[in-house]
Structure 1
């Protein structure tokens, strides 16, 4: 069953290696092309992520370097990887191809310059998260004790996302910033988050947050990171399915997707250690859900809820 995975950190690893890792088959990459093919990942989203301790005057350059590796290493050396540049491109992926889409995990790289954000749109970014766990000029992240909401700059970013039909990702926001986004965003998404009711982690979503996402037509993509699955930090596939069950109980059966966080995590769900193992999750889901529902979780729910192309 074909999968859309909404989050991985391959570009960070490619940039750190200065091009020494081959996206095609480097064993160091949990979501290399060979593993995506084995796991039947039809679309992989590639996050641009900037370490918060990088000096601020170097952050946009690092973002551009990660985009460089996306174009040169992911796309340039692999003709069967095709760039998704707009929402209609999901329908154009042919047999044997894998779609590749850019996302931005935190807007630290743009400083206070919206022109830099528009440049990233032009390079192909289709989803923007305002923060990672830290605070920045746009908002407070889930790890900021202050727990502030969106700044005026952050609200301007959401407005620009709306204008360009770009998703606004809530996965790393503080709870107050989440609610500010929900008031403003036309295209909200949680790219990699689980249910706080089952695992009380700052990165997870409360039932109220999840319900608000579903009511607004947003998607929640469950994440494979064990500390977001169980408080013990250890998890099996059945534990991840409990989060899917919980979101379904809140009315989200048609708005659940997958966001592995491969190459951004160091602990793994048993039998789900890299992208090649994705069908293990699919096979386990088929024991509890209909084929149509599982196909939804795998890819169809997102295809049904992506932004509508403006004519």
Structure 2
């Protein structure tokens, strides 16, 4: 079964560790996601996040360096397709190659210069989260104590993304920021890697009201493998993910659940789920409880249909 994953942090690891090679399986002990692991697990598309680690300057230079890593050390392989339009998504489905899409996790480095948004679009960025867990010029993050939402510039950024064709990602936003985005955005929005707060009460997870809002907004929710977003007080296993999926299904999210692993953004893993190859095991587990049609929706169809609807037909 094909697969689409909307969040991994390979770029950040390559930014920090210059000797890593995404194309060589020799580095699989230090990278959760490698090209071969994606090919082995029949991935159709993987979204690669530009996230600036805390020990790097949050500026445009670091963003550009990260995007250069995407093109020169990840996507420059004959078995990969850079995806920036709906026609590229269809090409991925028609081949055994892996599509690669750029997302931006936190807009700190733009420093409020909205004209840079169109530059990012031209460079292939198709998803953008306004902040990580803290506050920046655009919005408050989920761990910010002030309880504020989007700034005026942040609201303008959302509108600019709507105009260009960059989808807003609400994972990491504070609740006030989340609701500001839902209200302001004229286009569907996604939570690329968040689970259900009713199942695991972590600040990064979504309330029932947020899940319902994303469904009503025709968005997507990426089930994530971050252990402490899955279960509290014990080692998480693959079966624990079923509770989040079942809860979202009960809220009407059948056509809105997808995968958002956060591979390479975590230093601990769910038992039995530490690389794309292990997602085959998740697939088999889901098939024990749900129809093949529903499992395909979660594995790739929901994300595929979303991309066809929301990416521009051609660049």
- Unaligned regions of 5+ residues in structure 1, if any? none
Secondary structure at 1:46's aligned position in 2?
A: strand
Give the distance between the partners of 1:221 and 1:142, measured in 2 at CA. 17
The answer as to 2:273 corresponding to 1:272 is yes
Cα distance, 1:304 vs structure 2:
2.0
What residue is the counterpart of 1:31 in the other structure?
33
Alignment of 1:103-118 (within 5 A): 103-118=103-118
User: Which deviates more from structure 2 when the two are superposed, residues 4-13 or residues 90-99?
Assistant: 90-99
Summarize the Cα distance change of 1:53–1:140 in structure 2 as closer, same or farther, 3 Å threshold. Answer: farther
Give the distance between the partners of 1:98 and 1:10, measured in 2 at CA. 15
The CA RMSD measured in Å over matched residues stands at: 1.3
Alignment of 1:187-198 (within 5 A): 187-198=188-199
Alignment of 1:61-76 (within 5 A): 61-76=61-76
What residue is the counterpart of 2:169 in the other structure?
169
Secondary structure at 1:270's aligned position in 2?
A: coil
State TM-score, norm by structure 2: 0.94
Structure 2 counterpart of 1:40, from 39, 42, 48: 42
Give the distance between the partners of 1:296 and 1:13, measured in 2 at CA. 30
Question: In the comparison of the two structures, how many residue pairs are matched?
Answer: 307
Secondary structure at 1:11's aligned position in 2?
A: helix
- Cα displacement string for residues 51-100 of structure 1 (whole angstroms, at most 9, x for unaligned residues): 245444xx211111111111111122x21111001233111124220000
Alignment of 1:67-216 (within 5 A): 67-76=67-76, 78-93=77-92, 94-185=94-185, 186-216=187-217
Q: 4+ runs of 1 displaced by more than 6 Å? A: none
- Unaligned regions of 5+ residues in structure 2, if any? none
Cα distance, 1:147 vs structure 2:
2.0
State TM-score, norm by structure 1: 0.95
Give the distance between the partners of 2:311 and 2:170, measured in 1 at CA. 22
- Cα displacement string for residues 79-124 of structure 1 (whole angstroms, at most 9, x for unaligned residues): 1111001233111124220000000001011011112222111110
Summarize the Cα distance change of 1:270–1:12 in structure 2 as closer, same or farther, 3 Å threshold. Answer: same
